[in-house]
Amino acid sequence: MAVPKKKTSVSRKGLRRAGQHHKLYDNVNSITDPTSGELTKRHCITPSGYYKGRKIFETKADREEDEGEE
């Protein structure tokens, strides 16, 4: 089993942990959906249920609209 020879300093540990937060600010994979105009990740379904301009599933809000019309 690998065991470190020296104690990891607080600053070195902090630098290692700080590198993980850059992922939060990476907007390379976010796009605007052409149908709904929502900001979403690439290759993912939008919160309103659209993928590549097609309706994939019905959301709770859609079901409530249908019930209100009847």
Distance CA 62, CA 46 (A): 14
Residue 11 lies in a domain: no
* pLDDT attached to residue 16: 83
Q: Which domain holds residue 36?
A: 29-64
Structure tokens at 29: 């994979």
pTM over 0.85? The answer is: no
Q: Does 21 fall in a domain? A: no
Q: What is the pLDDT of residues 1-39, one digit of tens each?
A: 899 999 999 999 888 888 776 666 666 678 888 887 888
Question: How many separate domains does the chain show?
Answer: 1
Contact indicator for 56, 63 with CB cutoff of 8 Å: no
Residue 19 confidence (pLDDT) = 72
Q: Which residues contact 49 (CB under 8 A, 6 or more apart)?
A: 55, 56, 57, 58, 59, 62
**For 37-51, how does the pLDDT look when each residue is reduced to its tens digit (9 = 90+)?**
888 888 888 888 888
